[in-house]
Amino acid sequence: MHSLLSFLFRRLPICACVVLACTVQHGIAGVIISGTRLVYPANDREITAKIDNVGTDPALVQAWLDDGDPRSRPGTAKVPFVLMPPIFRVDPGKGQTLRIVYTGDPLPQDRESVFWLNVLDIPPKTADQPSTTMLQLAFRSRIKVFFRPASTPMGRPMRPKA
């Protein structure tokens, strides 16, 4: 009898976790950024990033650039770029193009500078579901933005010095 109780108490937490995992409804972020990185050549006037809503609900999107601090907020980031539009609505199945313009502030000319594009997907609050039984999450996606000075060689493979 003792071994049976011991067996049950060891296996009960595992069984409970499996049952709970089977009953959870999964949600996914509906807003995605096309691409995994952006490269801003210094000679270009602007670059663009495509944002798509692949979900079934409209989404409010807030976008900003930062210099690498993951805790940065749109009002606290100091970067030499202007992002347009910084906040917008994307309907299901639609997209939006973000424009990134370099302001001309000095950056190192002997190497690339790295910044981050942040896209915050804020889901809508539906009126037909009571707010007491619902958990909504805002998803933030980040991709790197490389500023490439004109003096930096583009696409030329680096060879080790002999």
What's the per-residue H, E or C state across 107-151?
Answer: CCCCCCEEEEEEEEEECCCCCCCCHHHCCCCCEEEEEEEEEECCC
The model's pTM is: 0.74
Please check the confidence at residue 26 and state whether its pLDDT lies above 50: no
Q: Read off the pLDDT of residues 6-15 as tens digits, 9 standing for 90 and up.
A: 766 777 777 6
Question: Would you tell me how many other CB atoms lie within 10 Å of the CB of residue 48?
Answer: 10
Strand pairing report for 87-90 and 113-122: unpaired
Split at pLDDT 50, 70, 90, the class of 155 is: very low
Split at pLDDT 50, 70, 90, the class of 28 is: low
Name the 3-class secondary structure at 4: helix
In a domain, 133, yes or no: yes
User: To the nearest whole number, what is the mean pLDDT of the chain?
Assistant: 84
Task: For residues 30-36, give the mean pLDDT.
Answer: 91
| The predicted structure's pLDDT at residue 131 | 60
For the chain, how many structural domains are there in total?
Answer: 1
In a domain, 42, yes or no: yes
Split at pLDDT 50, 70, 90, the class of 70 is: confident
Q: Which residue in this structure is represented by tokens 């807030």?
A: 62
Taking every pair of C-alpha atoms in the chain, what is the biggest distance, in angstroms? 79
In a domain, 19, yes or no: no
Please check the confidence at residue 18 and state whether its pLDDT lies above 90: no
Residue 38: enclosing H or E segment and its boundaries? strand 37-41
CATH number for the domain including 134? 2.60.40.10
In a domain, 156, yes or no: no
In terms of pLDDT, which residue wins out, 89 or 18? 89
In a domain, 93, yes or no: yes
In a domain, 5, yes or no: no
In a domain, 75, yes or no: yes
Question: What is the span of the domain harbouring residue 43?
Answer: 29-148
